[in-house]
Structure formats: C-alpha cells, structure tokens
Amino acid sequence: MESIRSIITAAERDSRLPEGEDERFTGYGIMGQPFSSGYLLALRRFSATSVGPGYTAVWMRRPSGSWIMYTDVPADVSCPRYFGSALESTSVHRIDVAWLDDHRFTVDIADDVGLHWEVSLAATPVTRAMSALASALPAKLWSSPAFLRVMGAVAGPSLQAGRIGLVGRVPNGQGFRANPKRMWFISGSKATLQGEDLGSLQALPVQTRLGDFWIPQRGIFMMGSSRFDAFDPAAHHPLPAPPG
C-alpha cells in the first residue's frame, strides 16, 4: 500500500510553481469535511506560492453559515487575499500539522481557538482512477476554462461529492483555476473545538460554496496547484478585522 505521507513529503521537498504571470500556489489540502454538528473544516497547506511564503490555513464554517479562516501568515498573502469579503473574520495563529503514520495526521490550533482535528486517508478505485487521469493530462488542458468546467462536472458525481468547481471567481473577484493532480478520500475524521465534539462525518443539508468554489459534500484530500488572477487593489474588498 502506498504511503501517502511519503508522497506528500516528497512533493513538499521538490515543490515547483507552475509557470505564469498570474498568482500561483502548489501544495495539498482537504477541500472540505462537513460534520453532523453543521460545522465544516477545510485545510490548505501550500509549500510554495508566488505571493509570499508557503503557509498553512484552516477554513471553518459554523452551523450558522458564517466563515472564519485561520492562517499562519498575514491575510494579504494567504487565503483571505481571495476569500476575505465572504469571511466573518480571519486571524493569524500557529497551525501544527503532524503525521501519525503513513495515512493519518492531525491538525492543531492551540491558543484561544482550541481546535484538534484528526484525519485518516484512504485510496479507492475511484480516487486511483481520477488521480491517474489527472496526472496524465497535458498542461495545456489544465489552463483551459472550458476543460476545467467539464472536469468539475464529471468529478462531482464520480466522487459522490456534490458540485465541484475547478474554475470561476472567488468572493474578492479574482478568477481562479484549480488543478488537482492526486486525491484520496477521508476515511475517518473527528474534531473538537474548545473541547466540543463536532460530530460524525455527514454532508450538509445544502451544499455550501465561497463564490464559485463549491465545497465538496464529502471529505477529499487533494494534491495539486491553483492559479488566481493577479491581485488588483482597485477591485479588492477589505479583509475582515480579527475579532476582539
């Protein structure tokens, strides 16, 4: 059985950004994991970006529908750069990602957040087939919005994850193009927030999204890269202030 930890470690060590003049990111993450409590968590860990240092971010959707993003670098060089106008707040924290073995890891944010998240990964015939297809595609196709729309439309039902958007606009107005290259399912996960159990794995009653970026209705772990239109200060929406 392949070691997902080894694949991720090698990818982080040898990370290369795609060429281009747009804003580029490479790394991995959990696209989204909904829980029976109504909470949803997502993880982004980019080993390299064209706008600043590599970083880790945790996205959290509350049962009320409001969004928070926690990052370990400033908001203007991380995910809130693109999603900030849709967030209730964003703040900077130490975020620890630790692998327990070849297929399991934890995500922790201590201090006043108090998040502990455990994740187990697994490959299935569907994820293996999707990964093989994605890895074999020529770079030219990954730059085609029309192709990305078709791939997203096919991937959603194939992965039984609801809608998946690989191209469109984020809340701050920039266009995005997501290029997943390998994927695995979340086979098990549990999380606590300030000691409160977030519940079992369960799709949300209504699938949620941030702009045209739809959050899958099941936990999917992906490696790959993303591109965003170059930052335009004139069109930029103010970032939300940290709570306090």
- Each residue of 231-242: pLDDT tens digit? 665 555 555 555
**What per-residue confidence (pLDDT) applies to 235?**
57
* SS3 state of residue 162: coil
**What per-residue confidence (pLDDT) applies to 95?**
98
Beta pairing class for 209-210 and 213-214 = antiparallel
Q: What is the mean pLDDT of residues 67-76?
A: 97
What does residue 227 show for φ and ψ, rounded to 5 degrees?
-130, 145
**What per-residue confidence (pLDDT) applies to 242?**
53
This prediction's pTM = 0.92
pLDDT in tens, 146-190: 999 999 999 999 999 999 999 999 999 999 999 999 999 999 999
- The beta-carbon contacts of 54-60 under 8 Å, at least 24 apart in sequence, are 54/15, 54/27, 56/95, 56/97, 57/95, 58/95, 58/107, 58/109, 58/115, 58/117, 59/32, 60/115
Largest CA distance in the chain: 50
pLDDT in tens, 72-109: 999 999 999 999 999 999 999 999 999 999 999 999 99
In single-letter form, the type of residue at position 66 comes to S
Average pLDDT along the chain: 92
Query: How far, in whole angstroms, is CA 78 from its chain's centroid?
Result: 12
Q: What is the mean pLDDT of residues 33-61?
A: 97
